[in-house]
Amino acid sequence: MNPKHFETLAIRTQDKRTGNREHSVPLYLTSSFTFDTAEQMRAVFADEEQAYIYSRFSNPNTNEFVEKMCLLEGAEAGYATASGMAAVFASFMALLKSGDHILSSASIFGSTHTVITKFLPKWGITYSYADMNKPETWEKLIQKNTKMIFVETPSNPGVDIIDLNWLGKLANKHKLILNVDNCFATPYLQQPIKYGAHLITHSATKYIDGQGRVLGGIVVGKKELINEIYTFCRSTGPSLSPFNAWMLSKSLETLAVRMDRHSENAMKLAQYLETNKSVINVKYPFLKSHPQYKIAKKQMKQGGGIITFELKKGFEKGKLFLNALKMASLTANLGDTRTIATHPASTTHSKLSEQERLSVGITPSLIRISVGLENIEDIISDIEQALKS
Ligand SMILES: *Cc1c(COP(=O)(O)O)cnc(C)c1O
């Protein structure tokens, strides 16, 4: 049998069984691996023979997680990191050098924004931010030294969408590396490589774990780019722990069913919020009112689990809303089984200036909901009672 379907690949891709014939994959908590002879050790170090050497390079658990993610994203190769930020940072550091320029959008995760605006310039790498809602402006921002385009779609926290097919063509026309953070969609809802992306980064901490337990990240994509990232990571050490890889690989087995339910619940909550009079600007990729609804429908299987909205009465009243929630958790994570409410302006995006926040739609009253897997009626009642109070 040669399985082709997402669910089957996510469940039946497994490292070789040991002599114990275990059903679930064993956990290899070992920092290094042994050799029979000095000659074999020399051959492995010289890349003449393939074998595990040291868990900073690879390990059966990280390897299995990487292999599965490559199959699910349609990628040639990958490397797993200790967190999503380690994946994003490694993809920049391994492939950009002093004098290069990166084109992105300010509508990205707060820490990625900090890396691009505060750290890359220290090493002589410049950046421009284009507007996710004005694709016609992107090409003008490409310079002679532009090397990479980095985007999130849907973006965090604004759930902005960009046309991946158009962006893939733009990147290829200018011979740029297209690097897509696919964290909100996961490969189950969207596979950017189909549209010409060269690299995919993930915070596996979010939907891939999906249960708020472990940190993790991964980069997958073109083999020659991943080789550079591997060389960088092998020497600098942001590797994923075998334990976290084991958790994440197991979690992938349920990704499809979880994403189906996250999306179904989020769609119902978004439709409810649009009818609630205390709320304005409900934004969800699969609502007809989303500015890029048609593109979202084209490139995503479903809308995902993240909704944003604003409170009509501003953030002072918004605090009352957050404090009145009885079930939804106030926490900075997302993509959990548990519904989560976050206020991006004072938390995940607090390091941006007020002007930077406003330019990407993070108003003081913006609320982000990561819709969980609880019964949708309980989720809606909790939000409804909090909005009333
Ligand atoms: C959370 C997040 C990250 C960072 O991931 P960590 O695992 O927390 O380091 C990167 N990109 C997006 C879109 C995220 O939501």
d(CA 260, CA 268): 13
In a domain, 1, yes or no: no
Q: Is the pLDDT of residue 1 over 70?
A: no
Q: Same domain, yes or no, for 243 and 276?
A: no
In a domain, 72, yes or no: yes
* Residue at which a domain ends, from 233, 254, 275: 254
Burial class (CB in 10 A: 0-12, 13-18, 19+), 218: buried
In a domain, 309, yes or no: yes
**Pocket residue to mutate for ligand 1, from 81, 205, 214, 219, most atoms within 8 A of Cβ:** 205
Q: Same domain, yes or no, for 372 and 264?
A: yes
Range of the domain at 28: 6-254
CA distances from 302 to 5, 262, 267, 293, 389 (A): 17, 10, 9, 11, 32
In a domain, 75, yes or no: yes
Q: Same domain, yes or no, for 217 and 338?
A: no
| 6-64 pLDDT, tens digit each | 999 999 998 888 899 999 999 999 999 999 999 999 999 999 999 999 999 999 999 99
Atom of ligand 1 minimally distant from the CA of 85: 9
CATH of the domain at 37: 3.40.640.10
Q: Same domain, yes or no, for 195 and 307?
A: no
Beta bridge partners of 78: 220
The vertex-170 CA angle with 169 and 175, nearest 5°, equals 95
Smallest Cα–Cα separation from 94: which of 236, 240, 234, 232? 232
List the strands of the sheet with 279-283, edge to edge: 279-283, 306-311, 366-370, 340-342, 329-330
d(CA 226, CA 248): 20
In a domain, 174, yes or no: yes
Atom of ligand 1 minimally distant from the CA of 204: 7
* Residue at which a domain ends, from 223, 254, 285: 254
Q: Same domain, yes or no, for 247 and 327?
A: no
Q: Same domain, yes or no, for 349 and 231?
A: no
In a domain, 302, yes or no: yes
In a domain, 145, yes or no: yes
Q: Do 383 and 369 meet the contact criterion of CB atoms below 8 Å apart? A: yes
- Predicted local confidence at residue 346, as pLDDT: 85
Atom of ligand 1 minimally distant from the CA of 86: 9
* Residue at which a domain ends, from 209, 225, 254: 254
| 112-170 pLDDT, tens digit each | 999 999 999 999 999 999 999 999 999 999 999 999 999 999 999 889 999 999 999 99
- Predicted local confidence at residue 356, as pLDDT: 83
Q: Same domain, yes or no, for 249 and 341?
A: no
Q: Is the pLDDT of residue 220 over 90?
A: yes
In the block, tokens 């978004």 appear at 270
Q: Same domain, yes or no, for 229 and 264?
A: no
Q: How far, in Å, is the centroid of ligand 1 from the Cα of 180?
A: 12
In a domain, 213, yes or no: yes
d(CA 341, CA 364): 14
Q: Same domain, yes or no, for 225 and 268?
A: no
Residue 299 confidence class, pLDDT cut points 50, 70, 90: very high
Atom of ligand 1 minimally distant from the CA of 348: 1
Q: Is the pLDDT of residue 87 over 70?
A: yes
Q: Same domain, yes or no, for 204 and 136?
A: yes
CATH of the domain at 365: 3.90.1150.10
d(CA 125, CA 114): 13
- Residue ranges lining ligand 1, Cβ < 6 Å: 83-85, 88, 109, 111-112, 152, 156, 181, 183, 203, 205-206, 215, 217
Q: Same domain, yes or no, for 247 and 271?
A: no
Q: The tokens of 290 are what?
A: 């989303």
What total of structural domains would you count in the chain?
A: 2
Smallest Cα–Cα separation from 304: which of 262, 255, 334? 262
Q: Is the pLDDT of residue 315 over 80?
A: no
Q: How far, in Å, is the centroid of ligand 1 from the Cα of 33?
A: 31
| 366-383 pLDDT, tens digit each | 999 999 999 999 999 999
Q: Do 60 and 84 meet the contact criterion of CB atoms below 8 Å apart? A: no
Q: Same domain, yes or no, for 69 and 36?
A: yes
